[in-house]
Amino acid sequence: MFIDETTINVRSGKGGDGCISFRREKFVPRGGPNGGNGGDGGSVYLQADSNITTLLDIGRRRHYIAGKGQPGEGNNRFGRRGKDLLVKLPLGTLVKEVVGDEDPREGKLLVDLLDSELMYRVVCGGKGGRGNKSYASALNQVPREAEKGHPGTEKLIHLELKLLADVGLVGLPNAGKSTFLSRVSAARPKIAAYPFTTKEPHLGIAELGSYARLVIADIPGLIEGAHQGQGLGIEFLRHIERTRVLLHMVSCEYNDIDQSVRDFHLIERELSGYSDELSGKPRLIVLSKTDMLAADEVKSFGAELKSRLGKEIFSLSAVTGDGLENLLRASSILVGEAQAAASVEEDLG
């Protein structure tokens, strides 16, 4: 099951109490204070892991608690530090702090886990209390006081996953997106000859040789009004916000050029209705299911669609493999251009 949102409670460990103790040995009168400090409580850290693709396992637990610090002891022995807790999350997870009764999605953004090397401390462990040894001074040689360990910190955090991919597949239900993904990668989304077969996003990796690869996200099909909550698409449109380029797939299954043009503009309206950023992404237009028509019909259909839309059209049959290599090569080039443009923007920023 694919889960892309959940809310959990994280709590750091309490610091250990400081100790009140005095050295007592034979022939050592007035040995002085020797109470050790308590150990600090453990902290809770978050880290992205590329091997995790869903928040399902995370959401099964509601409370994540780090270890408590141990109290100090006599003979100047410090308490052991509480054990830290590391919570691993999918790459691309947004972490937001939820305060009061506010909508979890509107919480304050704490971190965006885009780098698997980053460990983010979401709550810091309580500091251990001081033992009476640390209170000793020339004016207070027999301190009989120690400090309690500081309490841990607790936060309610909302986790929202946005898939990271090079290429996002968009189109109406049954436009051939899942078949394409299953053909170019090891992903095995459900495929059937009826709409809404895909009910959750799928990631696949297309190997292009020479160590080059494309990470492709298959998003459930969109329908009219998707950006306003209609159908399945609204819950998953955010997953293509982070793709570098889009493949807009338009079926020619029924050999109806007017219908294909309407389908194209419908999806484009839904993308622009969701966000300007999404509608402005670089994209390739793919005429899918070309195996349903004769070769001469595909050629004339593609030419007419290019004329109507004013854009280059890539023909594809994921079933037979016709057009696959050309489409993957063009996608790789477009992804490279998008990466270069993003790097320039970062340098200027």
Q: Among positive and negative, which fits the CA dihedral 47, 50, 52, 55?
A: positive
Identify the domain boundary among 127, 161, 195: 161
Same domain for 287 and 178? yes
Mean pLDDT per block of 10 residues along the chain (349 residues) reads: 83 97 81 93 95 85 96 95 96 91 87 90 97 92 94 95 86 85 75 50 79 80 53 63 90 91 90 85 94 92 94 92 92 90 72
Identify the domain boundary among 132, 161, 190: 161
Q: How far apart are CA 207 and CA 17, in angstroms?
A: 56
Longest dimension (CA), the chain: 108
DSSP H or E segment with residue 297: helix 295-309
DSSP H or E segment with residue 341: helix 324-348
Single-letter amino acid, residue 198: T
Quote the radius of gyration of the chain (alpha carbons, Å). Answer: 29
Render pLDDT for 50-89 as a digit per residue (tens, 0 to 9).
888 788 889 889 999 999 999 999 999 999 999 999 999 9
Identify the domain boundary among 161, 176, 207: 161
Same domain for 308 and 341? yes
Q: How far apart are CA 40 and CA 13, in angstroms?
A: 8
Same domain for 48 and 121? yes
Same domain for 259 and 192? yes
Structure confidence at residue 272 (pLDDT):
87
Structure confidence at residue 217 (pLDDT):
85
Same domain for 20 and 39? yes
Which residues lie closer than 8 Å to 153 by C-beta, 6 or more apart? 11, 12, 123, 124, 126
Q: What is the CATH number of the domain that holds 203?
A: 3.40.50.300
Same domain for 13 and 146? yes
| Contact of 79 with 38, CB cutoff 8 Å | yes
Structure confidence at residue 254 (pLDDT):
86
Q: 3-class DSSP state for residue 199?
A: coil
Same domain for 33 and 69? yes
β-strand pairing of 5-11 with 154-161:
antiparallel
Same domain for 135 and 271? no
β-bridge mates for residue 89, sequence order: 48
Q: Which structural domain, as residue segments, surrounds residue 128?
A: 5-161
Same domain for 150 and 133? yes
| Contact of 168 with 204, CB cutoff 8 Å | no
Same domain for 265 and 292? yes
Structure confidence at residue 66 (pLDDT):
98
Q: 3-class DSSP state for residue 14?
A: coil
Backbone angles phi, psi at 103, to 5 degrees: -60, 125
Same domain for 59 and 192? no
Q: How far apart are CA 32 and CA 322, in angstroms?
A: 87
Q: Which of 250, 255, 254, 253 is nearest to 309 (CA)?
A: 250
Q: 3-class DSSP state for residue 158?
A: strand
Same domain for 242 and 127? no
Question: Number of structural domains, the chain?
Answer: 2
Please provide the average confidence, as pLDDT, over all residues in the chain. Answer: 86
Q: What is the CATH number of the domain that holds 78?
A: 2.70.210.12
DSSP H or E segment with residue 112: strand 108-113
